[in-house]
Structure 1
Amino acid sequence: MMRRDRSSHFIVFFLITQIFIFSGCASTPEQLLMEEKFNDVRITTKVYEAIIDEPSLRRFDINVRTIKGVVELSGYVSSRDDMDKAIAIARAIDGIKSIKNDMLIGSIYDDY
């Protein structure tokens, strides 16, 4: 009987502790902003790694930037197929709201 009483007290203590802990976890605008920034960094990293993992795209300098879930791809590729492949790879990453394509076909050295 004593053992059951102890476990009941522990469960009550645990539940009360959880109420206090989670009541302090209400989302504030600052917490939401930090979560959004963290998600943007996570998305950017995943997209960049996925593009680098594609052997046909490794030779290109494709830049990835994410703001509020919108991924922006920029840089130079050699063809429309390369551009489409980079966009398809980015599109496969979870959490992306949309993709902005600022990639150009050609070479960075074409302007010189």
Structure 2
Amino acid sequence: MSDVKTWIKETVTATPVVLFMKGTAQFPQCGFSGRAIQILKACGVENIATVNVLEDPEVRQGIKDFSNWPTIPQLYVKGEFIGGSDIMNEMFESGELKALLDA
């Protein structure tokens, strides 16, 4: 296992809610990342740990390999990969995401 994979695993297990995104929560660098932040805030998540994949190409590729998911953003809750922006949106609209985050 590479150092990047180890770091990603530690990151997603150390913090309850982690969003791998383009940019930061304050300044998202793509619409999907911005939407993901909006959804988490709408669910009442105060403490969103974000990782800006644009700062490190190794992490940007590493997270795609780690989750076997081709796109960014990627949401992890309690160490488990939830999905990207579209999945987050569907789960938000059904109430499933808030229930997961509140659990």
TM-score, reference length from structure 2 = 0.28
Asked which structure has the greater CA Rg, the reply is 1
TM-score, reference length from structure 1 = 0.26
Structure with more helix by fraction:
1
